[in-house]
Amino acid sequence: MDNTIRSMQIKVEKMYHDVLTPLGAKYQLEVLAPRTHAAGKPTILFLGNHSSGKSTFINHLLGTTVQKTGIAPTDDGFTVLTYGETPEESTGPAAALRPEIIFSALDRFGPAFLSRLKLKMLNLELLKSMNLVDSPGMIDAASTGQERGYDFMAAVRSFGESADLIVFFLDPEKPGTTGETIAAFTKALSGLENKVLILMNKADMFENIRDFARDYGALCWNLSRVIKTKDLPEIFTTYIPNLRSNRGDKSSGVPLEGFDEAREEVIQQIRNAKSRRVDNVISTMTEQARRLDMHIHVCWDLKRRLLSAQAICSVITFVLFATTVAFGYIFREANPRTIPLAVVGGGLGATVIWWIASQLAIRQYGKSLIEDLDATFERIYLRDFTLGQRDDLTTRWEAIRDHAESALKSMGLRSLPSRSPRSSRQFRKLQKLLNRNITNLRR
């Protein structure tokens, strides 16, 4: 398996190096190869609302209590659980510098993040084959940077990119409605959806099937507002066995057999995380290639319209200049000794004034095109939307729109290539990658 993964990753890295990265640099859309450690153990990232059962699930998975649990938030930082012959715990910058921490450049999130980072080395069998990352519970905050002291969403993104599987916990009390949960799905996990498993935990809390149906429906409704796909991903509804009886609660009012099966399926997917790595690497590259293709098409449509405006202005300028020269010639033929300088001078002056005014207008027109990117996107993909609902296109556009606008404002439309991308060898390689190479890799 390791040799297969490494061989596949070498091929994918070559595609990034030969096709995606050069094109991304040309059109100023950042394309980064996934930070997947093929030779290392798979990594599982646990995300979710506070008190949704992340730490409890980890304890159940490992068969012993290693993480604190409770109704109130019990941890405000990330905890990396890995294997060690001798149990050991490191915190702060010392943890970030340990060789067992495979996540790169964690110090970029600042001292507030590092002071909350923990590394736990445990002599547990499961950790010989994988690393687990527990995260702080998500809260309903308008500005998570102010609440936590560091960019929480950027940290989630960093861990998510390196993870092979992301298990996202939601619970009946807060079914996907906290501010950070929404931000995680719409921003931090954008493009990583293929790695995410969504769990609705604490199914044993319901007193009857009606309460379960109402909460499950609310969860689906809330997720449909932030996950812009035609179909919602599968939601695994489960609970932690024996937890209710240990608290002295009454037995659940809903049958739990199906939830037991869902929990075991999630655990099996966690144990098989390494086999998902190849698919994750290919899926990530595929999505980045499609986003780059969309970005290039939008850029070329804007450039084409700008070139059309410039061509019209150039034609009008030439007509004005030619008309001025023709009038000058006619008047000179009528009176060879005298050239009506007022006519010629006025015509040339009007031509110059028109040229300057047209260039200013073109510059303003280019700015207006950039400010109305949504209309450009809708026009380019009008046929796709006419043939059928294409939520995947909308989701992809929402993921790159801000980056595209920032890049276009930074470099300006004039600096974009003036030739159609179809004439570019690199763009043809991108189309070949999307239409043939990726399919061959999956085979």
Quote the CA–CA distance of 226 and 153 in Å, as a whole number. Answer: 16
Residue 297 has a pLDDT of 93
Q: What pLDDT, on the 0 to 100 scale, is given for residue 10?
A: 82
Residue 283 φ/ψ, nearest 5 degrees: -65, -40
| 362 in Cβ contact with 313 (< 8 Å) | yes
CA 2/CA 101 separation, integer angstroms? 20
Q: Contact at 8 Å (CB) between 78 and 155?
A: yes
Token couple for 169 = 């916990």
Fold of 35-271: Rossmann fold (3.40.50)
Please give the full DSSP string across 365-421, using - where no structure is assigned.
HHHHHHHTHHHHHHHHTHHHHHHS--HHHHHHHHHHHHHHHHHHHHH-GGGS-SS-G
Phi/psi-derived region of residue 121, left when phi > 0, alpha when psi is between -120 and 50, beta in every other case: beta
The 10 Å Cβ neighbour count of residue 406 is 13
CA 4 to chain centre: 27
- The pLDDT of residue 332 is 64
Domain boundaries, the chain: 35-271, 291-442
Handedness of CA 151, 184, 13, 81 (dihedral sign): positive
Per-residue pLDDT of the chain (443 residues; tens, 9 = 90+): 567 777 777 888 888 888 898 898 888 888 876 655 544 788 899 998 877 888 889 998 998 888 877 655 556 789 999 988 888 888 888 777 777 676 667 778 888 888 888 889 999 999 988 899 999 888 765 454 556 788 888 888 888 888 889 999 888 776 656 678 888 887 788 778 888 898 888 888 777 888 888 888 888 887 877 776 666 778 888 888 865 544 445 555 677 777 888 889 999 999 888 777 778 888 888 888 999 999 999 999 999 998 898 888 888 888 888 887 777 777 666 665 555 666 667 777 878 888 888 888 888 888 888 888 999 998 888 888 777 667 678 878 888 888 888 888 888 888 888 888 888 888 999 999 988 888 888 77
Residue 390 β-bridge partners:
none
Closest CA to 394 of 384, 406, 407, 409: 384
* Residue 1 confidence (pLDDT): 58
**pTM metric for this prediction:** 0.71
Predicted local distance difference test score (pLDDT) of residue 248:
44
Q: Is the dihedral of CA 363, 294, 31, 234 positive or negative?
A: positive
